[in-house]
Structure formats: C-alpha cells, structure tokens
Amino acid sequence: MEDLAKQLGSLSENVFSSAAWSGNPNDPKVKAFYDKFYSKFNIYPKEHEVEGYSAIYIITDAFKRAKLTGDLAADRDAIRQALLKTDMTTVFGKVKFGNWDGPLGDHYTNQNIYSPIIR
C-alpha cells in the first residue's frame, strides 16, 4: 500500500484496503512461497501478492480443464464452466466456486465458498 500512496499521491487519499493473510508457517508450500518471494523482492509477501500468485494457479488449472475451440463465446463459457469445477488448495487457501447467501442476505454468485464470511 505504501507504493500505491507514493505513486498516486493525493489521488490515494481516503483509499482503504483491508485483508488479512499470514499463511500457515507449518505448510511447506507456504514457507517455500515466502522464502522464494523474499529472496527475489527482499520483502515478505502480503495478501495482495499471495492473491495474485494464487489466481495464476487457479486460472491455469481451469485452462487445463477447459475444452477450447477457438470460438470466443464458446471458449468463454468453457473457461467459466472449468472455473466452476475448481476445487483446489493454493498457498492462499482452499478454493471452490459456488453461490451462497451472506449473513445479511446478500447473494454471492460464483464466489469462493471457503471465503471467511460468516454464513
């Protein structure tokens, strides 16, 4: 977030982001990710870096399962269907997409069913 404030200056005023992720230090994959990231960038990863890293694995997994034809509309749907069949664990945590209602009745569509929102 410090880089955002430096790059945007006054445009970043009143911007707030909150997300918690510390990773499980006992998980060898998490430790390996931390160590590799730190050795390359000399900082420890935070939630946004881990989200981006995990997103690449999620979309790669979906592309491997999608039957692409070259028809844009059909391929979009094939990727969407492949994402809906995602059931994996990343360094960020478990990922499986579905629909659910939040504690205040908000309907979530195609979201991670393992999201930490209390249901």
pLDDT digits (tens, 9 = 90+) for 5-34: 888 889 888 887 666 666 787 889 999 999
- For position 4, what pLDDT does the model report? 76
3-state secondary structure 83-95: HHCCEEEECCEEE
- For position 19, what pLDDT does the model report? 64
pTM for the structure as a whole = 0.73
Q: Both tokens of residue 42?
A: 């000399």
**Any residues with CB less than 8 A from the CB of 38 and at least 6 apart, and which?**
44, 45
**Any residues with CB less than 8 A from the CB of 101 and at least 6 apart, and which?**
107, 108, 119
C-beta separation of 47 from 20 below 8 A: yes
- For position 60, what pLDDT does the model report? 97
Q: What's the whole-number mean pLDDT along residues 67-75?
A: 96
Distance CA 62, CA 84 (A): 9
84-117 pLDDT tens trace = 999 999 998 899 999 888 888 888 888 888 876 5
- For position 104, what pLDDT does the model report? 84
C-beta separation of 75 from 83 below 8 A: no
C-beta separation of 93 from 87 below 8 A: no
